[in-house]
Chains A and B, each alone.
Chain A
Amino acid sequence: MIASGHSSTRLLDGAVLVGLALFPLLMPGYLDLGTRMVILTLFALSLDILVGYCGLVTLGHAAFFGVGAYAAGIFAIRVWAEPVVGLVVGGAAAALLGLVSGAMLLRSRRLTLIVLSLATVLIVQEIANKMNWLTGGADGLPGISMRPVLGQFSFDLFGRVSYTYAAIVLAVGFLAFRAVVDSNFGKSLVGIRENETRMHALGTPVGGRLRMAFVMSAALAGVAGALQAQVTQFVSLNVVSVELSGEVLIMLILGGAGRRYGAFLGAPLYVFMQDYLAREDPANWYLWIGLLLLAIVFLAPGGLTAWTGALARRLPWRRP
């Protein structure tokens, strides 16, 4: 628990949570956008465990987001429309997929891992597409109507409850993420990322650790997907697409992978740009985002938090 014991880190962690709480007061007219930012931040955070801390690059993370969304949506329609229970169901379904696919994926690295992750998301998408009677197929899954959260707070038209609910879930998710990456377990993941052979030689059960991390990451992504299904009251095939898997990777990289606040910076910025640019110039949205990616790769590897981190180290009171 060295990192979170550091006073400035604890301060920043607190600032993130305060920021989440202050958003509705500062921008009351943008709650829908804010909710979207919160959900995608949670999704990007889950991917960070794999990409940032384990050093595994995948292009199939939307498989878990999508399974979580479908599981929560179907559970709400057919069994019980209680939101919090629905989150647990979504997370558990995604964790199960993570357990199975992790066993298959994690024997490979680099390109083969990318191919296998792409295949996973395509299989899930095709299953969701073909099981019309359960998922609604290409038309999507309509008719999700959630009960009040914990029987107390019903979802309102202005999105106040949606935002608060999503923000609390993100805050809990961040605390869980923090506990994982700051633990010895999290440190061993970083060790594996830096030098797998050496960790193996040190006696770390590399395969078991990675599978564990994979399941955790899948579960968190599933919760994010469930949240999206509940808040938008609709699930479409887009939640299990290669495109979404690529987008969440971009969000994470934009902020910085493996840098604790990367997801909190990248996801909101991406959603904001998408909202702004797609409104001004929808045809060229992908041109701008592509150019931005190339700029990050060549000019700011490590993302925005690497920049701000380098900036912060230059501040006078941080000098040794």
Chain B
Amino acid sequence: MWEFVDLLISLTFYGTAYGMILYCLAVGLSVTLGLMRFVNLAHGVFAMTGGYLTVTAMSRLGFAFLPAVAVSVVAVGALGMLVERTLCRRLYSAPILEQVLFSIGLIFVSSAVARYFFGPLAQPIELPAWLSGRIDIGVGVFPAYRVFLIGAGAVLAFAIWAGVERSRFGASVRAAVDNRRMAESVGINVNRVFTICFGLGTGLAALGGSLGADLLPIYPGYPNDYLVYFLIIVAVAGLGNLRGAFFVALTFGVSDTVVRYFLPDLGRILILLMIMAVLSYKPHGFAPKTHA
């Protein structure tokens, strides 16, 4: 009996750590999709770029883990703003098909570039000593890295909540989402809000890619292979529903871990079927409002 409880606790723990990374990766996408209604399937490209930058900064330039993550988040955020200014902006009013094609094109090009510079294999990340041990958190002894992920995810969720729902910038973002023309007419520079949001979204992707590099390995197929996970979370939560994305990501992380443990053969099929059922029952996800 106690063994079973222990098992459930550790499955929940591992699932939560996994869910936190997924949250980190998906929330940035939710911002882009919900605000700009821009179907950006290339979100994983920015996560992968962030991961590669972090690994390179650590192994080639001798950065410590956290400074390397910070540098890559800032660099990728800036790259994201550049891409938004030069490319994405021209596609906001284009049909969804063009946006999808643009994303696929970006995925192909970035995977090819990643393969050229780093080769086809996954990049191992050297975790610092304080993250590679195990620590006791009361209910059991767990890997410090996973504990760190959960803590970082919780801090991030709070920061996003405070930043979007409690700040002036967040208010202008929500105004731009609800009614672009009205927001413009009260003096909000919507174009600038869009650029900053895209930078934030891509920066968050880089954060997720870097922090999660030990859990979701960085390799050229990254943007393609993990795409479906980000999309599921964003779609089930509802586009632009940032708080929902947190709960959906955690639920998904935990249930995926539990189902795969008990039903290794059918787990993936079951999870996907459940998601299909939810989405065909609620096509707009659990969002309070319907966007895009």
Contact = CB atoms under 8 A, between A and B. Distances in A.
Nearest to B232: A115
A214 to B, nearest CB: 13
- Which of B90, B269, B292 gathers the greatest number of chain A CB atoms within 10 Å? B269
Contacts of A290: 104-112
B8 interface: no
Interface stretch (B146-154, B177-185, B278-286): B278-286
Nearest to A113: B283
Contacts of A301: 94, 98
A289 B279 contact: no
A122 B269 CA distance: 8
A137 to B, nearest CB: 11
B98 A294 contact: no
A286 interface: yes
B276 A104 contact: yes
A201 B107 CA distance: 40
Contacts of B102: 293-294, 297
Interface string B94-130: 1111101110111111111101100000000000000
B155 interface: no
For the complex of A and B, 6 pairs with smallest distance between CB atoms: A290-B108, A293-B105, A287-B112, A108-B283, A290-B109, A104-B280
A34 to B, nearest CB: 26
A53 B95 CA distance: 14
A257 interface: yes
Contact of B39 (A110, A246, A250, A283): A110
Nearest to B267: A126
Contacts, number: 129
Interface in A160-174: none
A114 B33 CA distance: 13
Nearest to A295: B105
Interface residues of A, number: 45
A290 B94 CA distance: 19
A82 to B, nearest CB: 32
A110 B95 CA distance: 10
Given A283-B112, A290-B110, A293-B102, 15 more contacts: A59-B100, A108-B279, A109-B283, A126-B268, A130-B265, A243-B224, A249-B100, A250-B101, A286-B108, A287-B112, A294-B102, A297-B101, A297-B105, A298-B90, A301-B94
B273 interface: yes
B272 interface: yes
A214 B184 CA distance: 41
Contact of A246 (B90, B104, B111): B104
Interface of A: 51, 55, 57, 59, 103-105, 107-112, 114-116, 118-120, 122-123, 126-127, 130, 242-243, 246, 249-250, 253, 257, 283-284, 286-287, 289-294, 296-298, 301
B276 A289 contact: no
B269 A126 contact: yes
A122 B110 CA distance: 23
B268 A297 contact: no
B104 A112 contact: no
A293 B104 CA distance: 8
Interface in B57-111: 87, 90-91, 94-98, 100-102, 104-111
A146 B269 CA distance: 32
A197 to B, nearest CB: 14
Contacts of A243: 224
B266 interface: yes
A104 B275 CA distance: 11
B164 interface: no
B235 interface: yes
B132 to A, nearest CB: 34
B234 interface: yes
B228 interface: yes
Contacts of A112: 235, 279, 283-285
Contacts of A250: 101, 104
B254 interface: no
B196 interface: no
Contacts of B105: 290-294, 297
B20 interface: no
Contacts of B204: none
